[in-house]
Structure 1
Amino acid sequence: MLAGRTALVTGSTSGIGLAVARALARAGARVMLNGSRPADEAESLRAGLAAETGAEIGYTRANLAQAASARELVESTIAAFGSLDILVNNAGMQHVAAVDAFPDDKWDALIALNLSSVFHTTKAALPGMQARGWGRIVNIASAHGVVASPFKAPYTASKHAVVGFSKAVALEVAEQGITCNALCPGYVRTPLIDKQVVDQAKVHNMPEDRVIREVILAAQPTKQFVEADEVAAFTVFLCSDAAKSVTGSVQLIDGGWTAR
């Protein structure tokens, strides 16, 4: 399906990002992994994924909170594989606190990673896509890109902004064979969610099992976590030729959360 294409997936050494990278590799794409793991762990992960999928797999460490590093990640992918056809902006962070108690440095870090890095990687990737007349950009936003939750104002703001950014980019490149979409999962059981469970337990003074059922999944009618592989499969579809007319869209995979 994606043979001959090169994909970069940010934040792809665990959770949603790793599932997306694996699915793209299985679909035939060359994949550049990105994360902050120690060199030996990163190499083991890279080699294992290559052996499992039979695809060419690379790994580049980058601090996406820094503009120069985000741009260099794209440049490194192009240098390694010759092109960049698919960009999946997945890297993100979360911090749970009321606005009046939210640390300024956490705000700056969250916006830099969740939002600004999406701008910097997209800006760096577009010229090559435009030159070839083909490209796919999938921004992993969140159901919080559509609705809000208390104690997550900065995260909600960043994901709403990613949704708006995705729409604007889609309009700019609509006649150039490039699509840009925001994929908005509900709660997926990942290390990021595990941290939220701990944080929310402190905020609500509740045991973690009750937090999962009564806080984390309270708004998700299925009362089940979305599987990372579901998000990955949706991403592969958005990168396929079957989705060439799907652009500027907000794709929800949230267990019915936003149907309320």
Structure 2
Amino acid sequence: MDLDLKNKVAVVTGGSVGIGLAVAEGLAREGAHIVMVARDKDRLESAARQLAETHGVRCLPISADVATGEGVESVVRQIDEAFGGADILINNAGTGSNETIMEAPDDKWQFYWELHVMAAVRLARGLVPGMKTRGGGAIIHNASICAAQPLWYEPIYNVTKAALMMFSKTLATEVIKDNIRVNCVNPGLILTPDWVKTAKQLTSESGGDWEGYLQSVADEHAPIKRFGSPEELANFFVFLCSDKASYSVGSSYFVDGGMLKTL
């Protein structure tokens, strides 16, 4: 299926590893030029080179912290200088948390608010005007199943991802008049490097069967009885970015192997 994304300019935050990298690869495979944003400069530049060489597209690596206003300003400025704006924005930058509400300090709440919510707000303010000038675009927010079905050990993650889902809905209403479609994706268990790292840490003193641990997590939470791959999830993102999803506006899609227990 030709998704008609050739020569579009796509911005992917958290784009050097895991889900972000898989989404960037999926879009590049369709012929889109990629702006990869991440903090780890070396890993970012290596991933960008490989992506450009493999798919024959332009790939601009931008090392920046999108959890800060200064970081977002730098990203927007470099996109304007290199491409004159963007057609697609994937707000993917984020990370899990681990705390209790009673013990988590204010600064931890603020950090996740800036990373999960304000980064998306600021990037929208910076890139939507250019999208409007270019005739429209697509913005996809990577939230989480935890936005609707929280896990007890990461309340800050749950709350900020729920806020991101509501921001996505609200932004969609505001910018659809400019032919900019906004949607949200709520993944379930996706086998990212972070999951593997955590599993290895948790099993290091009990035999090291990290794969068995991950299988037990999948057995407990996902009726499909396995983790999804970043590539499986990326396929859905890429589709939502295309005109084949032209009537998808302001929606939240759960890609979770059946993990969500509510309607």
* Segments ≥4 residues shifted beyond 6 Å: 198-202
How is 1:79-228 mapped onto 2 (pairs within 5 angstroms)? 79-197=81-199, 211-215=213-217, 218-228=220-230
Pick which of 168-177 and 188-197 moved more.
188-197
Give structure 2 stretches of 5+ with no counterpart: none
The residue that corresponds to 1:25 in the other structure is 28
The residue that corresponds to 1:243 in the other structure is 245
Cα distance, 1:129 vs. partner?
Answer: 1.3
> What secondary structure is seen at the aligned counterpart in 2 of 1:108?
helix
AA aligned to 2:8 is R
Give the TM-score, by structure 1 length: 0.90
AA aligned to 1:3 is K
Q: Distance in 2 between matches of 1:134 and 1:83?
A: 11
Contact 2:87 2:138 in 1 (8 A): yes
Give structure 1 stretches of 5+ with no counterpart: none
Pick which of 215-224 and 236-245 moved more.
215-224
How is 1:31-50 mapped onto 2 (pairs within 5 angstroms)? 31-39=34-42, 41-50=43-52
AA aligned to 1:2 is L
Q: Given the superposition, is the C-alpha separation of residues 51 and 210 from structure 1 closer, same or farther in structure 2, using an over 3 Å criterion?
A: closer
Give the TM-score, by structure 2 length: 0.89
Contact 1:187 1:217 in 2 (8 A): no
Let me know the Cα RMSD of the aligned residues. 2.2
Q: Distance in 1 between matches of 2:239 and 2:189?
A: 20
How is 1:58-97 mapped onto 2 (pairs within 5 angstroms)? 58-97=60-99
> What secondary structure is seen at the aligned counterpart in 1 of 2:221?
coil
AA aligned to 1:20 is V
Q: Distance in 2 between matches of 1:155 and 1:199?
A: 21
Contact 1:217 1:225 in 2 (8 A): no
Contact 1:33 1:46 in 2 (8 A): yes
Contact 1:96 1:196 in 2 (8 A): no
AA aligned to 2:40 is R
State the Cα deviation string for residues 158-189 of structure 1 (Å, max 9, x = none).
11111101110111112221100001110111
Q: Given the superposition, is the C-alpha separation of residues 158 and 216 from structure 1 closer, same or farther in structure 2, using an over 3 Å criterion?
A: farther
Q: Distance in 2 between matches of 1:197 and 1:186?
A: 16
State the Cα deviation string for residues 70-118 of structure 1 (Å, max 9, x = none).
1321221121122211000000011212222324433222221111111
Q: Given the superposition, is the C-alpha separation of residues 169 and 217 from structure 1 closer, same or farther in structure 2, using an over 3 Å criterion?
A: farther
> What secondary structure is seen at the aligned counterpart in 2 of 1:60?
strand
Q: Pick from 9, 19, 22: which aligns with 1:16?
A: 19
> What secondary structure is seen at the aligned counterpart in 2 of 1:59?
strand
Q: Distance in 2 between matches of 1:180 and 1:63?
A: 23
Cα distance, 1:65 vs. partner?
Answer: 1.5
Contact 1:65 1:112 in 2 (8 A): yes
Q: Distance in 1 between matches of 2:167 and 2:33?
A: 26
Contact 1:94 1:110 in 2 (8 A): no
Q: Distance in 2 between matches of 1:208 and 1:50?
A: 34
State the Cα deviation string for residues 138-170 of structure 1 (Å, max 9, x = none).
001111122111011110111111110111011
The alignment of Structure 1 onto Structure 2 pairs a total of residues equal to 256
